[in-house]
């Protein structure tokens, strides 16, 4: 009996001293944030969208009855059901530098990207890294090799799909229809469909040459009786440029150029619609924020110094870009039909994206702009600096490369343009259609001092770093002189 009792007590003791089974690790909370779709339209002036008719610089010197008119129904619908920034301004009229500002929240003096071909420094954080760390599945499809992987914009993306290696004579770009197809294919191939999606899609088509819009769209813009040389090719653009500079450009040729440019923008607009329809069919617009923006605008016939280009000037038509935001599903995130009239910086895109997804209201030097459509006046005003990136033959070889080039600052409702290469010429303009001049010498001097202070903090000279493949791409895309 005593032996049985001792055995029983020993068993109880052993059971009491036995280690408890390990607890299951706590489950990570499910990410219920919205899908985020960021769409970039390369080289798209704000006034190339019909929803920007109130801010139109478009062909003001052309007869109103004959000038071609923008037609962008898909983007107009996004604006009508969301928020439209009337005066979003880019910091450089160059693809890589401007996209770096969007995703880093920094202007060129703070992120150090001179122009296309200068990769994003590794110590410059990108907002896509924040989304990836927070559990978003990050996918990008790029329409141009200007944003190829080796340029460093791929940080934070699980899947970053650029045009890839090109055959000899390749164009290093994809037409909008192919970009849309590849974007939907990459979405279909996602290994993790439970996480919210961050999708970045870049359409390059508004950039010259103006060749990819289908005939049914082109016919809506061109004069059917036109029989001149303007066919959208780079050769035609070169002839347009020479004639504008020497004063022999004919109205019919200038009109045809504008018509072909608008057809390219309309083509991108149509493909944005195809993309959104594809996402809707896959159930990916049920809880989604869509943001549409452009990296920079385009000078057409407005300038007699640098017509049919972007890079040499920072006039409004070079840096005034569309910025639209709309909610799908939960429409409480973004109000319908709101218009923000105050000038805003493109470097605030990252912070605004982050805040909309619930990840914080600041990124880099940028701040969330959503209070401007909810509680007016709660975002501090900040000067908006921009700098040209050409002509490359005149760049600084000792200091920050772009210091000799045209620069501008917008503060309040005025813009000062300063042209070091033109004997320091400075002019003052209203931020308004046509950029009318302002005769206010004290204000002009004040704004030029802001530019000088900005330049005083510019980074040091950055040597070029093109390899042969990147150089071939930049030449094919028209970025190297």
Angle between helical axes of 251-281 and 234-246 (0-180°, round to 10): 140
Who's near 126: CB < 8 A, 6+ residues apart? Answer: 103, 104, 120, 153, 155, 156, 350
pLDDT at residue number 467: 83
Are residues 236 and 229 in contact, defined by beta-carbon separation less than 8 angstroms?
Answer: yes
For residue 28, pLDDT beyond 70: no
pLDDT confidence bin for 330, thresholds 50/70/90: confident
pLDDT at residue number 24: 53
Give per-residue pLDDT as tens, 370-405: 999 986 568 889 999 999 999 989 999 999 999 999
35-380 CATH, one of 3.40.1710.10, 3.40.50.2300, 3.40.720.10, 1.10.3720.10: 3.40.720.10
d(CA 241, CA 238) in angstroms, rounded, equals 5
Are residues 290 and 39 in contact, defined by beta-carbon separation less than 8 angstroms?
Answer: yes
- Residue 98's Cβ-count burial label (10 Å; 0-12, 13-18, 19+) is buried
Average pLDDT score over residue span 277-302: 96
Share of the chain above pLDDT 70, in %: 93
For residue 269, pLDDT beyond 90: yes
For the chain, the first-to-last Cα distance in angstroms comes to: 103
Q: What is the pTM (predicted TM-score) of this model?
A: 0.92
Q: Give the distance between the most distant pair of CA atoms in the chain.
A: 121
Q: Beta partners for 419?
A: 425
pLDDT at residue number 73: 98
Average pLDDT score over residue span 334-338: 92
d(CA 98, CA 349) in angstroms, rounded, equals 11
Are residues 124 and 112 in contact, defined by beta-carbon separation less than 8 angstroms?
Answer: yes
Average pLDDT score over residue span 337-356: 96
Give per-residue pLDDT as tens, 411-438: 989 999 999 988 889 999 999 999 999 9
Who's near 46: CB < 8 A, 6+ residues apart? Answer: 52, 55, 88, 294, 297, 320, 321, 322
Average pLDDT score over residue span 403-412: 96
pLDDT at residue number 348: 98
Give per-residue pLDDT as tens, 306-316: 999 999 999 99
pLDDT at residue number 38: 98
pLDDT at residue number 294: 98
pLDDT confidence bin for 322, thresholds 50/70/90: very high
Please report, for residues 62, 309, 362, the alpha-carbon distance to residue 58 in angstroms, rounded to integers and kept in the order given. Answer: 9, 16, 34
d(CA 340, CA 88) in angstroms, rounded, equals 9
d(CA 187, CA 279) in angstroms, rounded, equals 9
If one compares 199 and 331, the residue with the highest pLDDT of the two is 199
DSSP labels, 446-476: HHHHHHHHHHHTPPPP------HHHHHHHHH
pLDDT at residue number 441: 96
CA atoms within 13 A on the CB side of 106: 21
User: Quick one: how many helices (H) and strands (E) in the chain?
Assistant: 14, 17
pLDDT at residue number 465: 80
pLDDT confidence bin for 474, thresholds 50/70/90: confident
Give per-residue pLDDT as tens, 170-219: 778 999 999 999 999 999 999 999 999 999 999 999 999 999 999 999 99
d(CA 261, CA 309) in angstroms, rounded, equals 12
pLDDT confidence bin for 2, thresholds 50/70/90: very low
For residue 254, pLDDT beyond 80: yes
Exposure class string for 195-219: b at 16+ Cβ within 10 A, else e: bbbbbbbbbbbbbbbbbbbeeebbe
């Amino acid at each position: 009996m005593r032996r049985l009792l001792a055995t029983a007590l020993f068993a109880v003791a052993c059971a009491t001293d036995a280690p408890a089974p390990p607890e299951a690790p706590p489950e990570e909370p499910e990410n219920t944030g919205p899908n985020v779709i960021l769409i970039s339209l390369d080289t798209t002036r704000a006034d190339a969208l019909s929803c920007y008719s109130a801010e139109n610089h478009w062909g003001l010197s052309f007869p109103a009855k004959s000038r071609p008119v923008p037609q962008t129904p898909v983007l107009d619908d996004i604006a009508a059901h969301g928020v439209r920034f009337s005066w979003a301004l880019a910091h450089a009229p160059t693809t890589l530098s401007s996209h770096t500002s969007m995703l880093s929240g920094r202007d060129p003096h703070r992120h150090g990207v001179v122009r296309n071909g200068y990769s994003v420094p590794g110590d410059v954080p990108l907002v896509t890294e924040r989304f990836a760390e927070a559990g978003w599945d990050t996918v990008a499809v790029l329409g141009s090799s200007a944003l190829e992987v080796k340029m460093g914009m791929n940080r934070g993306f699980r899947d970053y799909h650029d045009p890839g290696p090109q055959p000899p004579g390749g164009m290093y770009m994809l037409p909008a229809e192919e970009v849309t197809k590849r974007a939907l294919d990459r979405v279909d191939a996602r290994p993790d469909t439970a996480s919210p999606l961050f999708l970045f899609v870049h359409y390059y088509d508004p950039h010259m040459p103006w060749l990819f819009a289908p005939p049914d769209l082109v016919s809506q813009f061109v004069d059917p009786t036109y029989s001149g040389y303007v066919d959208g090719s780079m050769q035609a653009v070169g002839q347009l440029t020479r004639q504008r500079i020497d004063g022999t450009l004919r109205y019919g040729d200038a009109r045809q150029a504008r018509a072909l440019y608008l057809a390219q923008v309309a083509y991108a607009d149509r493909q944005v619609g195809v993309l959104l329809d594809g996402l809707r069919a896959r159930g990916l617009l049920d809880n989604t924020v869509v943001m549409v923006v452009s990296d920079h605008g385009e000078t057409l016939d407005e300038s007699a110094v640098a017509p049919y280009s972007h890079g040499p000037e920072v006039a409004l038509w070079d840096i005034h870009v569309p910025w639209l935001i709309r909610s799908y599903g939960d429409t409480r995130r973004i109000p319908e039909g709101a218009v923000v009239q105050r000038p805003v910086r493109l470097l605030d895109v990252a912070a605004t994206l982050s805040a909309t997804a619930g990840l914080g209201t600041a990124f880099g030097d940028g701040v969330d702009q959503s209070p401007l459509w909810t509680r007016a006046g709660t975002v501090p005003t900040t000067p908006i600096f921009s700098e040209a990136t050409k002509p490359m033959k005149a760049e600084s070889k000792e200091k920050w490369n772009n210091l000799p080039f045209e620069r501008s600052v917008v503060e309040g409702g005025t813009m000062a343009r300063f042209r070091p290469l033109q004997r320091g010429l400075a002019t003052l303009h209203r931020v308004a259609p046509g950029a009318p001049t302002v005769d206010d010498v004290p204000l002009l001097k004040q704004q030029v001092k802001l530019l000088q202070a900005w330049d005083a903090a510019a980074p040091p000279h950055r040597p070029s770093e093109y390899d042969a493949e990147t150089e071939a791409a930049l030449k094919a895309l028209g970025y190297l002189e």
